Amino acid sequence: MLFTSYNFILFLIAVFALYYIIPGKYQWILLLAASFVFYSFSGWDNVAYITVTIIVTYLGAVRIGKLYRQQEEWLKENREKLSREEKKAFRERIKSRQKKCLVFCLLFDLGILAVLKYTNFVISNINSTARLFNAGEISFLDIALPLGISFYTFQAVGYLVDVYRGKYPPEENLGKFALFVSFFPQLVQGPISRFDDLGKQLYEGHDFDAKNVSLGIQRILWGFFKKLVIADRIMPVVRTITQDPDTYQGVFVLVGMVFYAVQLYADFTGGIDITIGIAEVLGIRLKENFERPFFSKSTAEYWRRWHITMGTWFRDYVFYPVSISNAMMKISKFSREKFGEKTGKKVPVYLSTVIVWFATGIWHGASWNFVVWGLLNCLVIIVSQELEPFYAWFHNRFNVRGKFLFKLFQVGRTFLLMSAIRILDVYRNVPVTFRMYASVFTKWNLKELFGGALLELGLSRADYFVLLFGIIIMITVSLVQRTGSVREKMYARHEAIRYAAYAGLFIAIIVFGAYGIGYDSNQFIYNQF
Amino acid sequence: MEALIKILEELHPDVDFRNEKALIDDKILDSFDIISLITEINEEYGVRIPVDEIVPENFNSAEAIYKLIQKLQDEE
């Protein structure tokens, strides 16, 4: 059941109505039931997978929590009798048992994800290698990736690790925990929430609040606008260009990059707007996942502002633990001795960065395109880190820091760089993508674009006008947003202006949304990751 | 404390670490800095900052970082 389908809208209306009719203490049960109904539309086998993840994670966390309690009670009872060393040894024994439990559950949860997501990728690589030696081939497994598995698995893993780290006690109620993992608005494309942020909000009752509901519905509409008016309309151009790389080279590759960047932004942020809007109607505040990423002045900044909850997840659960692990500390010591203080210091940080970006790439999809995409991002970040002394020299020499034109240059550069790397999502494979990169320089011919070529990419003149209108509105909203919530600002306006704006948005979606006969909108791009 | 301030100043010479109270919240220290800092602290003070202590409250000011180091030294 897609967010943009009629079924989903009916489903939402039913959930909203029931939610505020029933007493607050039962609201979480309704949300749990609604989440499983929503998920069952994607297939019962998927429900089985998520249920197994929920149960294993729940039991693991409860066990870890129980060990903690035992430890505290035992230490309290024997405080006087024990020496410092004995207490430390006891703590270490408990920690080791907790660790075994954690590792088992992590291997289980991530194992399901790995088997379902990467088996066919591994088989295809084995087959490619086997072909070199004229050996036989292995047939692919017939498995479909459960909807949202990458997101809910990460949420479950984050919870488990937090409980292990003693950040909060485990949730003892299986039903409540199941809701945290399966909460339907965020199940399919995030944001990836943390239990200490979302849990309590899900379980406490919420009274009907007209402002929340109104702001939530506006956010949902805004999401539909981005998805239907911009993302789905621009898509044919991206498809035409990237699926026929023999015809569309040079300047068209650049058009493809920029259009895909716009499509992905409108698609993903539109989906997240719908998610956050639905939660808001229910009185629940989810973490923001974007902070106007295309206004970033560097790649590192872009990644702090794009898909924020994924970035912080990788930082807290992969980057930090890897970079301060025993192994990395040893590497750090070794590299300092070997390469000197200055270079040696950087080795563990950069090595961890490579690991994180490899993981981020492969998380997005089981293909070499995503691995290369991750590593290219990593390369850009490391190169810009290494160029720091040059930047310092440059800013000393030329007084341009903070100047509008220079900032514009930085934003434009980051946008183009990120768009160029991101196009790896849609080209057939890595060699084709690199051939297309090269063609931008070798086959550049701006004249090709004019003389009607743009109108042969799947969009009419009217489509381009609608797109332009949509993009102008999207950019304007982003600009206004820099000084605070646009919806709050609208809320302060006179009712007549406010309702005219809402009606305008609604009509724009109906009139300008990309629909066709039997139209049921397109899959959100991030649902597939 | 002085050794810690020196480590921090090497990371960002332009920041007033004696008075700054929002090193994380104001995004002065990023994740690269945190890792460099933890490695340096390990070298200087001989304590390993465990991953569950990497929370904004422990890194927002030089004072908070120093308190964390002392706490970990006591536990050893």
* Residue ranges per structural domain of chain B: 2-75
Which chain B residues contact residue A102 at CB under 8 A? none
Partner A contacted by B19 (CB < 8 A): no
Instruction: Look up residue B28 and give its two tokens.
Output: 């002065």
Q: Write out the two tokens for A336.
A: 């300092």
pLDDT at residue A527, rounded to an integer: 66
CB < 8 Å to A165, chain B: 51-52
Contact A351, A409 (CB under 8 A): no
Which residue type occupies A20? Y
Interface residue A334 vs chain B (CB under 8 A)? no
CB pairs < 8 Å spanning A and B: 38
Q: Which of A68, A349, A350 to mutate to test the interface with B (most CBs of B within 10 A)?
A: A349
What's residue A51's pLDDT?
96
The answer to whether B36 faces chain A, any CB pair under 8 Å, is yes
- How far A82 CA lies from chain B's nearest CA (Å)? 15
Which one of B32, B42, B51 has the shortest CB-CB distance to A349? B32
HSE value, Cβ hemisphere, 13 Å, CA-based, for A36: 17
d(CA A61, CA A161): 9
> ipTM of this predicted complex?
0.90
pLDDT of residue A226: 93
Q: Report CB contact under 8 Å: B48, A332.
A: no
Question: End-to-end CA distance of chain B, in Å?
Answer: 19
Quote the pLDDT of residue A436.
92
Say how far apart CA A223 and CA A230 lie, in whole Å.
Answer: 10
Q: What pLDDT is recorded for position A225?
A: 92
Query: What angle (nearest 5°) sits at the alpha carbon of residue A374, between those of residues A370 and A376?
Result: 115
Q: How far apart are CA A480 and CA A489, in angstroms?
A: 9
CATH of domain B2-75: 1.10.1200.10
Contact by Cβ (8 Å): A51, A112: no
Mean pLDDT value of segment B59-64:
92
Which of B11, B31, B40 would best serve as a mutation to test chain A binding (most A beta carbons within 10 A)? Answer: B31
Residue spans of chain A under pLDDT 70: 515-523, 526-529
Residue A219: name the closest of A268, A271, A274 by CA.
A274
Domain boundaries, chain A: 6-208, 209-286+447-529, 294-428
pLDDT in the model for residue A518: 43
Query: How many whole angstroms separate alpha carbon A353 and alpha carbon A317?
Result: 13
- A349 has a chain B CB within 8 A of its CB: yes
Q: What is d(CA A434, CA A430) in angstroms, rounded to the nearest whole number?
A: 6
Distance set, CA A453 to CA A256, A330, A463, A471, A520 (Å): 13, 58, 14, 21, 29
pLDDT at A132: 84
